[in-house]
Amino acid sequence: MTAETVATTAPTAWGEARNQMYEAGRAAALAPVELPVEEADGLTLAQDLVTLTTLPAFPTSSVDGFAVRGDAPWTVVGKVLAGHSPAPLTGDSTAVEIATGGMLPPGAEGVLRVEESRHTGDGRITGRLRETIEWRRPGEEAELGELLVPAGTPVDPGVLGLAASCGYDTLRVHPRPRAALRVFGDELLTQGPPGDGRVRDALGPNVPALLRRLGCQLAPGAVGPVEDTLEAHVAAIRSALAGADLVCTTGGTMHGPVDHLHPALAELGAEYLVNTVAVRPGFPMLVARVVGDDGRARFIAGLPGNPQSALVALASLVEPLLAGLRGRALPALGTVELAEPVPGRGDFTHLALVHVDAAAGTARPMRHVGSAMLRGLAQAHGFAVIVPGTSGEPGARVPFVPLPLLPGERP
Ligand SMILES: Nc1nc2c(c(=O)[nH]1)N[C@H]1C(S)=C(S)[C@@H](COP(=O)(O)OP(=O)(O)OC[C@H]3O[C@@H](n4cnc5c(N)ncnc54)[C@H](O)[C@@H]3O)O[C@H]1N2
Ligand code: MOO
């Protein structure tokens, strides 16, 4: 389907559009790179994480005390600190002082806690060993070659620590997608209060911040506003495509007198993957694909100009596309229980902004949720999904699309 031929296509069902975007992203998943472990935070594993050693790699004392051999009382014949490789303990009724994490000497039969030991009059130590063992056995956490975490797992601090602890210096990971934004609309101001027919560009500040939260790095370059001519639109998208895997545009998704997005896509030889979605708000959203001279697919996401609609398009199309590009699973939708009624939108899916009360587990629809408004969005946790042909009744459990917020951003 080329950009010229689809002005009259029927909107894609919301769930189907979401799945299509994920599959398109997965088919173009970014080629893995090998990075030092500490540089892989926030990326996605492109390899299974299997242990390069048994874990622990050697028997280690789990307490400060004495590693002993034979019966009490024991003659102390040395000391083992963490990081040292001890000589075997061979003599009967002998012991070495040992620190937590110290390698157990071969031949040791038990570890006595320092607080449970006593000195005898003749310079030896004595005490009763506990029933439970006081050292960690090799392989207790994992055997050599055991799968710890599969490919496709997001790399977080836990994975970083685990990778280092079992011997990795580098990890094979999918890199961050490079994203760019171009904002369309001659009516947009980038400074000062709106008035006299001009509105402030809300999406120039908003969309890059969301793209970062969705795991992108933002390509450098002017966001706009791009002049309302076809030539300027084509040039702006083309320059953005040169340095990005994903170009988001805002505005111009309809077919008004200065809506140049569709003709610009046609001129760039873009192929629509989704062009309009049966969702409110935001139905004119689209995603198109351009294959570069290098054979690599790049994506253009056309976000509607109405600010809330742009955010619905990000959550509906861009988020699953990015999950695929990053080599991750499609984010599963949780559910919320509606505390108040939420109207349906006939044959369209309704994405309704809600505030979630975590303690009660319920969701309350926001006020100020016109598609041109951001007031409700700035206090919402995400969108309750009211499927076509239904309305959201109090007490009903409905799917929930969270906003990509960082911990602590919506207490
Ligand atoms: N005849 C019809 N007109 C419209 C329809 C329709 O079905 N028939 N659908 C409406 C819907 S739904 C939406 S959504 C918008 C989509 O419009 P565009 O994507 O073409 O966007 P624009 O026309 O450029 O702008 C729409 C609106 O949003 C404001 N805007 C744009 N960019 C920004 C920004 N960066 N920051 C803040 N506000 C922005 C712009 O000033 C307009 O008010 O079309 C409807 N029309
Ligand atoms: O996307 Mo529009 O009204 O649905 O804002």
Report ipTM for this prediction: 0.96
**Which of 280, 351, 374 for a ligand 2 pocket mutation test, highest count of atoms within 8 Å of Cβ?**
280
Residue 2, in any domain of the structure: no
Q: Which residues contact 167 (CB under 8 A, 6 or more apart)?
A: 51, 52, 53
378 and 285 in a common domain? no
pLDDT of residue 333: 93
233 and 97 in a common domain? no
342 and 240 in a common domain? no
The range of the structural domain enclosing residue 243 comes to: 12-31+175-325
CA of 280 to the centre of ligand 2 (A): 6
Give the residue-averaged pLDDT of 324-349: 95
Confidence of residue 147 (pLDDT cuts 50, 70, 90): very high
> Distance from CA of residue 205 to its chain's centroid?
21
CA of 227 to the centre of ligand 2 (A): 23
Ligand nearest to the backbone CA of 225 = 1
Q: 316: Cβ below 6 Å to ligand 2?
A: no
Question: For 266-282, how does the pLDDT look when each residue is reduced to its tens digit (9 = 90+)?
Answer: 999 999 999 999 999 99
Query: In this model, does residue 7 exceed pLDDT 70?
Result: no
Q: 282: Cβ below 6 Å to ligand 2?
A: yes
213 and 155 in a common domain? no
Atom of ligand 2 nearest to the CA of 372: 5
Q: 316: Cβ below 6 Å to ligand 1?
A: no
188 and 115 in a common domain? no
Domain end (from 293, 325, 357):
325
Query: In this model, does residue 110 exceed pLDDT 70?
Result: yes
Protein residue whose Cα sits closest to atom 4 of ligand 2: 281
Domain end (from 298, 325, 352):
325
268 and 183 in a common domain? yes
- Output the DSSP codes for 39-80: G-TTSEESS-EE-SS-BSSS-EESSSEEEEESSSSBEEEEEE
CATH number at residue 49: 3.90.105.10
pLDDT of residue 222: 80
Q: What CA–CA distances, in Å, run from 409 to 30, 353, 354?
A: 29, 16, 15
Confidence of residue 66 (pLDDT cuts 50, 70, 90): very high
Residue 409, in any domain of the structure: no
pTM (predicted TM-score): 0.91
CATH number at residue 95: 2.170.190.11
Q: What CA–CA distances, in Å, run from 405 to 42, 375, 380, 408, 409?
A: 14, 16, 10, 8, 6
Domain end (from 325, 356, 389):
325
CATH number at residue 233: 3.40.980.10
236 and 209 in a common domain? yes
Which two structure tokens, joined as six digits, stand for 236? 């702006």
Query: In this model, does residue 395 exceed pLDDT 70?
Result: yes
267 and 227 in a common domain? yes
Query: In this model, does residue 9 exceed pLDDT 80?
Result: no
Task: Work out the mean pLDDT of the chain and round it to a whole number.
Answer: 93
Which two structure tokens, joined as six digits, stand for 176? 């961050």
90 and 186 in a common domain? no
Residues above pLDDT 70, as percent of the chain: 98
198 and 321 in a common domain? yes
Residue 5, in any domain of the structure: no
Residue 410, in any domain of the structure: no
Q: 305: Cβ below 6 Å to ligand 1?
A: yes
116 and 73 in a common domain? yes
| Number of folded domains that form the chain | 4
**What is the spatial distance between Cα 86 and Cα 102, in angstroms, rounded to a whole number?**
9
**Which of 249, 250, 254 for a ligand 1 pocket mutation test, highest count of atoms within 8 Å of Cβ?**
254
pLDDT of residue 224: 83
Q: 309: Cβ below 6 Å to ligand 2?
A: yes
311 and 280 in a common domain? yes
Q: 348: Cβ below 6 Å to ligand 1?
A: no
Query: In this model, does residue 8 exceed pLDDT 70?
Result: no
